[in-house]
């Protein structure tokens, strides 16, 4: 969800991987500015946004670029579609669930979005006025409200190793 630490973790993981190979981060805010401008926050628009991110990720991965996507992806069906298309293309797909309690997200929200959403001022806000469907079986779950960034990064790197995408720890 918003504020769970996706961008922070993506940047930290990228730093650990970039000396091994090319790495690109597809950050949700940047994607909405440059690739999905004009899409809103309704379910169909959110699903299209995730499809576009998945498409770009597959293109990069086909050219041996490691891709980290840091985007709010509230619907299981969309995530499963992106996973299926990657698998069909022979590309690995590792789902990382950055989990934090609503209280923690509200507390760390510097933009005041949760406060506005809870007051009913922001429609289609994931986890408040729109659903968030947690992953059923992500390859790794990091608890960003109780782990340090370094602890979460180590757990992500361990999952990459477990799935044969990385050798020994990069630290």
Handedness of CA 154, 156, 161, 162 (dihedral sign): positive
Burial 7-42 (b: 16+ CB within 10 A, else e): bbbbebbeebbeeeeebbbbbbeebbeeebeebebe
Handedness of CA 125, 99, 148, 32 (dihedral sign): negative
Least Cα distance to 125 among 72, 63, 80, 76 occurs for: 72
Among candidate residues 73, 101, 146, 152, the one labeled active-site is 73
Please indicate whether residue 36 is annotated as part of the active site: no
Maximal C-alpha separation, the chain: 48
* Catalytic (active-site) positions: 73
């Amino acid at each position: 969800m918003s504020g769970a630490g996706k961008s922070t973790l993506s940047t930290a993981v990228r730093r650990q991987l970039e000396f091994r190979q090319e790495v690109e981060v597809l950050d949700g805010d940047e994607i909405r500015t440059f690739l999905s401008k004009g899409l809103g926050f309704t379910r169909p628009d959110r699903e299209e946004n995730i499809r576009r991110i998945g498409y770009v990720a597959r293109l990069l991965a086909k050219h041996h670029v490691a891709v980290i996507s840091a985007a709010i992806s509230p619907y299981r069906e969309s995530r499963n579609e992106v996973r299926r298309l990657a698998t069909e293309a022979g590309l690995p797909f590792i789902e990382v669930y950055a989990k934090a309690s609503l209280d923690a997200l509200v507390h760390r929200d510097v933009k005041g979005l949760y406060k506005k959403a809870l007051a009913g001022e922001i429609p289609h806000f994931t986890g408040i006025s729109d659903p968030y469907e947690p992953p059923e079986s992500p390859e790794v779950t990091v608890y960003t409200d109780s782990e340090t960034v370094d602890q979460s990064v180590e757990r992500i790197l361990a999952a990459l190793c477990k799935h044969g995408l990385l050798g020994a720890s990069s630290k």
